[in-house]
Structure 1
Amino acid sequence: MKSVYLVAIIITIIIGSFFNWILCCEQTETITIEEEYIESVKEDYEEVVEDKKNAPVVNPLIIVDSTGSFSYKSNDNFNFHESDFIIIRPLGPGVDKGVMQVKEYLSSNKNVQITGFYEAREENTSAFPNLGYARANAVKNHLVAKGISAKQINTYGKEMDPLSEYRDVLVGPVSLVITEDAGFKNAEEVVGRIKEQPIVLYFETGKSTINLTEEQRERYLDIVRALDKVDDISVVIYGHTDNTGNAENNMILGKDRAEFIKAYLVRNGISAENIETVSKGQNEPVANNNTAEGRAENRRTVITIK
């Protein structure tokens, strides 16, 4: 009899242990599956967040006619590095597609208004009053290269904070609007004013450095606009020196200075074909070469229009 009870107790213990093992393992397995699922979802979420963080900023190129029905939009755009005004290339296909549609759409009474934007924190590395004008001029030159007349393009510069940015690249800091506004109207007057008051830049002895004042930047903008609007004019740069050294070397130095300024103007958007350089050497002083002050005035280049 005792043996029967003993067997029954043993069987009960075995059965209880079996069910306890089953339930325990199932619970452990369930917890493991839940943890793995949560971990995988977390990883997916982190990947999505990271992808979003690294995704390019989409600031679309939008071209509209403020007085008509033309409208164009593309995710491609004109992009620039910070504190720079050179268009980053290659351009996306959507940019030139839009430019060609604008070219086909423009009529004699329509113009393209290009506004370039800049942030206050950016350094103005251009010859223009601000980077906005410089960027607008770069876009203008691209449109001209595609066959749109410069006479139908007006450029402007405007501060805007903040600009759309992706990895130190400013995405589309320009706007293009088709309008009937004639824009820059007094080009002939500007040409006369520049001839009377050309841009004069001074050099230290044996050095070629450029430091434009705000007034000179405004004059440079006038020169660029005048070239766009008036036929049969060009820029001429005269290089002058003091009488230090010999006359022959000073003729070379004057030419070098004029060529240095030419390269600077070309980088700032004026076609090399529209610029002539002439050296006057030491032959046309404006001050007395017997004084340091006078020699400093004679070491100069003169930028004007002819």
Structure 2
Amino acid sequence: MKSVYLFGIVLSIILGSFFNWMLCCESYNINVVEADYGTSDKVAALASPFIIRDLTGNFEFKSDSNFYFNRSNFIIKRPVSSQIDKGVTSLKSYIGNQNNKFVDITGFYDPAEENNSAFPNLGLARANAVKNYLLSLGVSSKKLNIHGSAKEGLVLQDQSIVEGPIAVTITENANIKDAQAIIDNIKEQPIVLHFDSGKSSIELNQSQREKYLSMVRALDKVDNVSILVEGHTDNTGEAEGNLVLGKKRADFIKDYLVSNGIAPIRIQTISKGQHEPIASNDTPQGRAQNRRIVITVN
């Protein structure tokens, strides 16, 4: 009987040592997974908080939830936490009638990410997406300003989802001093895009991206102004058919602008067809100049 008792003790020790070894190894494996993200403390910070802070006052909101984006993307992943909605509602109430209070929304991007937006950088596109979200909850566009900044080592989930690349602060800086002057400048020097035959994609150069950013910022500050997209063609084919073609191209650009954060109601499209050439249609080079889209404001 004593031998059976001793055998039980020895067996318990052996089993305990075995399971302790198993748990130790399992814990080590978890740490390896954490290291794949960078460091274990970065994984612990995956729930990076969403903070709204008044730099010149006493308002502060903090939530463990945040905005999320796919890598190299600027569309907010849904659903957005109700905690963030609560914070935005508090923000709206706080800045409501304070004429000297404005909101700076800064979007961050890793330089290694691709920028497929119309903005000069992906951070601005993300900030604009968050701005539109605040607008949907009733915050005035005249109170909101967008910025973009490069930031290496953004927190990732599953190596593909960027967590919380957004900073929101309340300031007393309106940022845009004369939005109407910007509108007037765009009227004089609109964005002009040229269409090759069969072209189905948009690629803005850096100057056009900067002008687009100015347009977006000014639209937020000036009432009763909309974007006008004009479609133009060369004189190949029938004039009536070219009117239809010009409208299709204008509508194509409208869809592109909507995907980049402009409300559809603020965009008008028209077609001038072949009736307003800027170069001779007698040469291939001239016809290429006439196949164009003009993005302006009215």
For 1:151, the equivalent position in structure 2 comes to: 142
1:180 aligns with 2:172: yes
> Where do residues 183-222 of structure 1 align in structure 2 (5 Å cutoff)?
183-222=175-214
Identity %: 48
- Report the count of equivalent residues: 288
CA distance in 1: counterparts of 2:168 and 2:67, whole angstroms: 11
For 1:166, the equivalent position in structure 2 comes to: 157
Structure 2: runs of 5 or more not aligned: 35-39
CA distance in 2: counterparts of 1:169 and 1:87, whole angstroms: 11
CA distance in 2: counterparts of 1:229 and 1:33, whole angstroms: 72
CA distance in 2: counterparts of 1:56 and 1:249, whole angstroms: 58
Displacement of 1:162 after TM fit?
1.2
Displacement of 1:266 after TM fit?
0.5
Label 1:22 to 1:88 Cα distance change in 2 as closer, same or farther (>3 A). closer
Instruction: Output the amino acid matched with 2:274.
Output: Q
Label 1:26 to 1:138 Cα distance change in 2 as closer, same or farther (>3 A). closer
1:117 aligns with 2:108: yes
* Residue in structure 2 matching 1:67, options 53, 56, 72: 56
Structure 1: runs of 5 or more not aligned: 1-17
Which digits, 9 at most, give the CA deviation of each residue in 1:42-62, with x for residues without a partner? Answer: 266358648967878111101
The Cα RMSD (Å) is 2.3
CA distance in 1: counterparts of 2:266 and 2:17, whole angstroms: 72
Which digits, 9 at most, give the CA deviation of each residue in 1:179-224, with x for residues without a partner? Answer: 1111111211111110110000000123333120100000000110
Displacement of 1:247 after TM fit?
1.0
Normalised to the residue count of structure 2, the TM-score between the two structures is 0.90
CA distance in 2: counterparts of 1:127 and 1:256, whole angstroms: 20
For 2:267, the equivalent position in structure 1 comes to: 275
Label 1:32 to 1:183 Cα distance change in 2 as closer, same or farther (>3 A). same
Q: SS where residue 149 of structure 2 aligns?
A: strand
CA distance in 2: counterparts of 1:88 and 1:23, whole angstroms: 61
Label 1:50 to 1:282 Cα distance change in 2 as closer, same or farther (>3 A). same
Which digits, 9 at most, give the CA deviation of each residue in 1:40-88, with x for residues without a partner? Answer: 5326635864896787811110110000000110011111111110000
Label 1:44 to 1:207 Cα distance change in 2 as closer, same or farther (>3 A). closer
* Residue in structure 2 matching 1:285, options 262, 270, 277: 277
**Alpha carbons 1:131, 1:157 under 8 Å: kept:** yes
Label 1:262 to 1:23 Cα distance change in 2 as closer, same or farther (>3 A). closer
CA distance in 2: counterparts of 1:74 and 1:51, whole angstroms: 26
**Alpha carbons 1:72, 1:98 under 8 Å: kept:** yes
1:86 aligns with 2:68: no
* Residue in structure 2 matching 1:95, options 84, 88, 100: 84
Label 1:228 to 1:22 Cα distance change in 2 as closer, same or farther (>3 A). closer
Structure whose alpha-carbon radius of gyration is higher: 1
CA distance in 1: counterparts of 2:53 and 2:182, whole angstroms: 30
Normalised to the residue count of structure 1, the TM-score between the two structures is 0.88
Label 1:99 to 1:30 Cα distance change in 2 as closer, same or farther (>3 A). closer
